[in-house]
């Protein structure tokens, strides 16, 4: 069919909606209470943003399509969220805990870092929060203070020692 017979609004390109952090197939969507609250706050912000859209018909349709796509992805995460309450028994590394590790080799040898293991949507390196699906988090889970942990990072074998669990 000639493009001359297609309505103008049918020629619009679908907006590109960035995907959320990946959650491996078959893995539960664990979140901390803080993470669940962040998801709810994000939904409220998107709903408010949708109401405030201005501009031409084209700009509004495009903004609504993008917003609706982001809301759908977010709602899917909210629907699948499984809240894990923090534990007071800090005998081993578990979801939601904060663990202090010391680098035993490499350029950071002797350096200590403190990481909190959280859900995929609340993970942010800036705040030293890593997703429970991250290789480091998986290597630490179930370990205790004093345990040495090996992590293969490409061709490099990294060694850590767990110093503290909170």
Summarize pLDDT for 102-132 with one digit per residue, the tens: 999 989 999 999 999 999 999 999 999 999 9
The closest of 49, 30, 48 to 121, measured between CA atoms, is: 30
3-class secondary structure, 153: strand
Q: Which helix (H) or strand (E) holds 117?
A: strand 112-118
Q: CATH says 98-165 is which class? A: alpha beta
pTM above 0.95, yes or no: no
CA–CA separation, 6 vs 3, rounded Å?
A: 5
What is the reported pLDDT for 8?
Answer: 55
Residue partners of 133: CB distance under 8 A and separation at least 6: 22, 23, 24, 27, 120
């Amino acid at each position: 069919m000639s493009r001359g017979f297609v309505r103008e609004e049918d020629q619009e390109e679908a907006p590109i909606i960035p995907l959320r952090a990946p959650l491996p197939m078959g893995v539960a969507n664990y979140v901390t209470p803080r993470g669940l609250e962040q998801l709810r706050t994000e939904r409220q912000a998107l709903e408010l943003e949708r109401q405030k859209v201005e501009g031409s018909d084209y700009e509004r349709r495009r903004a609504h399509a993008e917003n609706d796509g982001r809301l759908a992805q977010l709602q899917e995460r909210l629907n699948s969220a499984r809240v894990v309450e923090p534990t007071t028994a800090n005998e081993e590394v578990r979801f939601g805990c904060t663990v202090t590790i010391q680098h035993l080799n490499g350029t950071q040898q002797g350096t200590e870092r403190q990481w909190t293991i959280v859900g995929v949507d609340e993970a942010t390196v800036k705040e030293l929060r890593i997703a429970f699906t991250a290789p480091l988090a998986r290597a630490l889970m179930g370990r205790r203070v004093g345990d040495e942990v090996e992590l293969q990072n490409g061709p490099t074998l990294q060694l850590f020692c767990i110093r503290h669990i909170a």
